[in-house]
Amino acid sequence: LLFLNQLQKDLEEVKELLTKATRKRVRDVLLAEKHKLEMEIKNQPPPKPKDVAEEEKSSLGGYTVKINNYGWDQSDKFVKIYISLNGVQKLPAENVQVNFTERSFDLLVKNLNGKNYTMTFNNLLKPISVEGSSRKIKTDTVLVMCKKKREEKWDCLTQVEKESKEKEKAAYDTADPSEGLMNILKKMYAEGDDEMKRTINKAWVESREKQYKGDIPMDI
CATH number for the 64-148 domain, one of 3.10.150.10, 2.60.40.790, 3.50.50.60, 3.40.50.2300?
A: 2.60.40.790
Model confidence, pTM: 0.52
Q: What is the pLDDT of residue 56?
A: 54
- The string of pLDDT tens digits covering residues 16-71 is 888 887 888 888 888 888 888 888 878 877 665 555 555 555 455 568 999 988 99
CA separation (Å) from 134 to 40, 146, 179?
Answer: 23, 7, 47
Reference 146, options 132, 136, 156, 157; nearest CA is 132
Q: What is the pLDDT of residue 219?
A: 47
CA separation (Å) from 177 to 97, 214, 216?
Answer: 49, 21, 16
Tell whether the model's pLDDT for residue 72 goes beyond 90: yes
d(CA 107, CA 64): 12
Q: Which residues are within 8 A (CB) of 92 and not within 5 positions of it... i.e. 6 or more apart? A: none
| CATH class belonging to 1-43 | few secondary structures
Q: What is the pLDDT of residue 34?
A: 86
Task: Give the whole-number percent of the chain exceeding pLDDT 70.
Answer: 75
Domain boundaries, the chain: 1-43, 64-148, 159-197
Q: Sort strands 96-101 and 78-84 into parallel, antiparallel or unpaired.
A: unpaired
- Collapsed DSSP state (helix, strand, coil) of residue 157: coil
Tell whether the model's pLDDT for residue 170 goes beyond 80: no
